[in-house]
Chains A and B, each alone.
Chain A
Amino acid sequence: MSEQFEPKIVAFFCNWCTYTAADLAGISRMKYAPNVRVVRLMCSGRVDPQFILAAFRDGADGVLIGGCHPGDCHYQEGNYKALRRFHLLKPVLEEMNIEDERFRLEWISASEGDKVQKVINEMVEQITKLGPLDLEPISTPETLDEMLEKEQEIAV
């Protein structure tokens, strides 16, 4: 096997809890897989389902949302909205044949550095098993012909 498949995971972390926890994990020298690319948002409530789909579109193999435990949100109710959107987006991804493990929502409080480590390592391990997502590219006028040829080769 050439170099082993390294999944790309986009993580949307809330600034107050999960981002701080990740920071704490860092300070405490806790090792977690580098595959995670963290996008810091002020609250898990800011995560727009478009961001999730855009991340998959742009090549992410897994998306993780990290928010405060219910009741702990610095803005009181942000994480509740994230929970609502998560449960509506889940069936869409499922129907679009994107495996369940690729999209997770986790409540991680500022002190749970170890949980950040556990979740990330676990997610990376699962997605490595699953393999790359490899969404088919959306054609543009320029790339259309090339894509069609490739399709021909696969078809034959």
Chain B
Amino acid sequence: MSKPKVGFYWCASCGGCEEAVVDLNEGVLDVVEAVDIVFWPVALDFKRSDVEAMEDGEMAVCFINGAIRNSEQKEMVEILRKKSGLIVAFGSCSHMGGIPGLANLHDKESIFNRVYHTVPTIDNPDGTIPQVETSVCGTTVELPEFWDTVRTLNQVIDVDYYLPGCAPPVNLIVGAVTAILEGKLPEKGAVLAPDKALCDECDRRESKPENLCIDEFKRPYQIIIDEEECLLAQGLLCLGSATRAGCDSICVKGNMPCTGCMGPTSRVNDFGAKALSAMASVANANDEKDVKRIIGGIADPVGSFNKYSLPASYLHRKVRK
């Protein structure tokens, strides 16, 4: 029986997820041994016709990373949906919208205006902006249509499993691939990662006091961050308690508070709202004046709590009138 075919595709992404696959290092040899990578834009050439030429379900699994931002990406993922048995949303962008998802705070017009007109480095006297169709020399040159709203993968096609993380951790990737090969997969729609919060595996957890209450939220530049003590206990906004474990707390080991790229645990619907609730509850103040003073210490709440998950949150984008 020939090796199952595997495909990778990227939408509005940064290529970090591709790097994660490369991070398998020699591990990639086992993968290649087990599967046949037939479709990987960063590594193999292909054209759309090649994909359309595949039979439906020809690929056993297709790992799609990156959020859906324009029409071309939508069309491609829809094709891949048809062509693959399993679709796995690979990385925060496809899982929750990721960093590009923050664009949902704006719309096409303000982005074009910023990118093509007002940004200091632009030289665009005519103020031309990209068009879907531009006729030139008798023919038309096309570009995919740029949407106002960034969408997660499962808002465009039906997604079977999710591999969280901004760039998913290597061990989770290996775990996922072996699980797919061995067919030992959880129920459809599951997130292929442990279902506990980061605190469980964080090696600073002993130093977190039982009656932790924050008198003042601090910014990393305000204090010399202690290497052993729990970051939240030091007053930093570490979202580890609301973020899924599995990344072996590489950020916290690097002395940087967790920003929630692995997304929420299964019982939580909106990561931003839940993290916000937890952080607000530990503020040590009861009367209005103190509450405002301490809570005011959290700057840019939307950016902090929904850094990777804005498109997947309930409000998913800024309300436009």
Chain A contacts to B: CB under 8 angstroms: 48-50, 52-54, 56-57, 70, 77, 80-81, 83-85, 87-89, 91-92, 95-98, 133, 135-136, 138-141, 144, 148, 151
Contact = CB atoms under 8 A, between A and B. Distances in A.
B292 interface: yes
Interface in B232-280: 268-270, 272-274, 276-277, 279-280
B45 to A, nearest CB: 29
Between A49, A95, A148, the greatest number of chain B beta carbons within 10 A of the residue's beta carbon is seen for A49
Contacts of B302: 91-92, 95-96
Given A70-B287, A97-B320, A50 B269 contact: yes
A154 to B, nearest CB: 10
A92 B272 contact: yes
Contacts of B295: 84, 87-88
A144 B155 contact: yes
Contacts, number: 112
Contact of A139 (B151, B277, B279, B318): B151
B274 A48 contact: yes
Between B156, B281, B319, the greatest number of chain A beta carbons within 10 A of the residue's beta carbon is seen for B319
Contacts of B287: 70
A50 B274 contact: yes
Pairs A-B, 9 closest by C-beta atoms: A53-B314, A49-B273, A57-B314, A88-B280, A50-B273, A85-B280, A84-B280, A97-B319, A80-B286
A50 to B, nearest CB: 4
Contacts of B292: 87
Contacts of B273: 48-50, 52-53, 89
A139 B268 CA distance: 20
